[in-house]
Structure 1
Amino acid sequence: MDQDLRILVVEPDPERAHSIIDALTADGWTNLHVVGDVTALDRKMKTLSPDIVLIDLANPDRDTLEHISMVSDAKSRPVAMFVDKTDDTMTQAAIQAGLSAYVVDGLHMNRIKPVIETAIARFQVMRKMQTELDAAKRALADRKTIDRAKGLIMKARGIGEDEAYALLRKSAMDQGKKVIDVAQALVTASDLLS
């Protein structure tokens, strides 16, 4: 586990914040920062750009949860939240907000390290899945564009699909471009002319 992570702790109670910092320090983390007021979180996030956010709130409401998720940018970094109690609505809101860890029954100092490690691992898995999903969507969109470009070539030249693709590929090679770039240019030009 990277002990140089910038960890931002969101804890309104100064005494409890001190206990959290002590527990994190005992586990080897030293780049620690605290924000006591949730309304100051946005500013602190911008100036610090933490690697992970650790939030301890007794009983946040849905609006607070959504605000914290948005401000802490839970889709870009691991965010672990400790709450004293929850219900189905709040749990679903936490999942929808993209929190990497949502721990009910409060924050216990001996659970901080495993929760952080789990939050980081889960975040990495989710990020990998999102990257793969984005790549698949991009490949599908590219495939559709190439198929459309082939259709335009087939119609304009009166040739078959394999020949149209060969022409598209040759044009890309001659121009030192990717097939998708040439296909996109052809589709764009066709849209402008129609």
Structure 2
Amino acid sequence: MQSKYESHRSIGLRALLLVESEDFDRDLKNALLTCGYDVYPALTSSHILKMVDNVDPSVIVLDVDRLTTDNIHSLHILNQIDPRPMVIFTEFSDEEMIDRVLKSRINAYIVGDKLPHHVGPTVQIAIARFKEVQSLKDELSETKRKLEGRKWIDKAKGLLMNTKGLTEDQAYQTLRKMAMDNSQRIDEVAKNVISFMQAVG
């Protein structure tokens, strides 16, 4: 199978196109090329995680009749360690297929439509929705990190106040100065201060 098809009007985005056989229907590949994507076909039976690592795709597009258990497993792992926008185009649909799609967290699920003027917007919307979800996840992770960091800072301030006789503001300024001097986040400094003070008793 050819490893890459270059679009004549590339928009700088790479599509990893997962198909079930070497003799796959070229309609979706051609639609993606028409929309400006550079297309990298690969078999669903290949090592998907390795393909993603090699291609670094902007979007993963599946052109399949059925999602196998192995496909779902690979996509689930991918979502955990290196999430990408994913779109599935299929000629068939049933409850089992929809259930598998939901479990794989695919961003768009299209039955039977591979026309370029539909494929382009579908993939574009899937990428946009993926980025929106990832942004919300990043915000949530950052909020959790800050809350956890605040706990370490408050604990470190308390130890400094008790052992050094500092006011709360003085304790905070001490942590802040240490963070600036060591080019570290203040919560990281707080953890180090706590570890050190607990070690020396």
Taking structure 1 as reference, are residues 7 and 73 closer, same or farther at Cα in structure 2, changes over 3 Å only? Answer: farther
* Residue of 91, 104, 115 corresponding to 1:109: 115
Corresponding residue of 1:38: 45
1:22-55, CA deviations, whole angstroms, 9 ceiling, x for partnerless residues? 21222233x1111134334344323222221100
Distance in 2 (alpha carbons) for counterparts of 1:28 and 1:163: 58
Corresponding residue of 2:190: 183
Corresponding residue of 1:97: 104
- The answer to whether the 8 Å contact 1:38/1:68 transfers is no
Q: Within the alignment, does 1:6 sit opposite 2:19 as a pair?
A: no
What is the letter of the counterpart of residue 109 of structure 1? Answer: L
Q: 4+ residue stretches of structure 1 with deviation over 6 A?
A: none
- The answer to whether the 8 Å contact 2:48/2:74 transfers is no
Q: Which runs of 5+ in 2 are unaligned?
A: 1-9
Taking structure 1 as reference, are residues 26 and 177 closer, same or farther at Cα in structure 2, changes over 3 Å only? Answer: closer
Alpha-carbon offset, residue 142 of structure 1:
1.4
* Residue of 168, 173, 193 corresponding to 2:175: 168
Distance in 1 (alpha carbons) for counterparts of 2:184 and 2:48: 45
Percent identity, aligned pairs only?
Answer: 26
Q: Within the alignment, does 1:57 sit opposite 2:28 as a pair?
A: no
Alpha-carbon offset, residue 144 of structure 1:
0.9
Distance in 1 (alpha carbons) for counterparts of 2:120 and 2:160: 59
1:130-160, CA deviations, whole angstroms, 9 ceiling, x for partnerless residues? 2211211121121111001011112213454
Alpha-carbon offset, residue 56 of structure 1:
1.8
Taking structure 1 as reference, are residues 153 and 65 closer, same or farther at Cα in structure 2, changes over 3 Å only? Answer: same
Greater CA drift, 111-120 or 71-80: 71-80
SS of 1:54 mapped into structure 2: strand
SS of 2:25 mapped into structure 1: helix
Taking structure 1 as reference, are residues 13 and 144 closer, same or farther at Cα in structure 2, changes over 3 Å only? Answer: same
- The answer to whether the 8 Å contact 2:66/2:97 transfers is no
- TM-score normalized with structure 1 length: 0.78
- The answer to whether the 8 Å contact 1:53/1:72 transfers is no
What is the letter of the counterpart of residue 192 of structure 1? Answer: A
Taking structure 1 as reference, are residues 173 and 56 closer, same or farther at Cα in structure 2, changes over 3 Å only? Answer: closer
What is the letter of the counterpart of residue 78 of structure 1? Answer: P
CA RMSD of aligned residues (A): 3.1
Alpha-carbon offset, residue 79 of structure 1:
1.2
SS of 1:153 mapped into structure 2: helix
Distance in 1 (alpha carbons) for counterparts of 2:82 and 2:97: 18
Greater CA drift, 90-99 or 147-156: 90-99
- The answer to whether the 8 Å contact 2:49/2:74 transfers is no
* Residue of 15, 24, 29 corresponding to 1:21: 29
Q: Which runs of 5+ in 1 are unaligned?
A: none
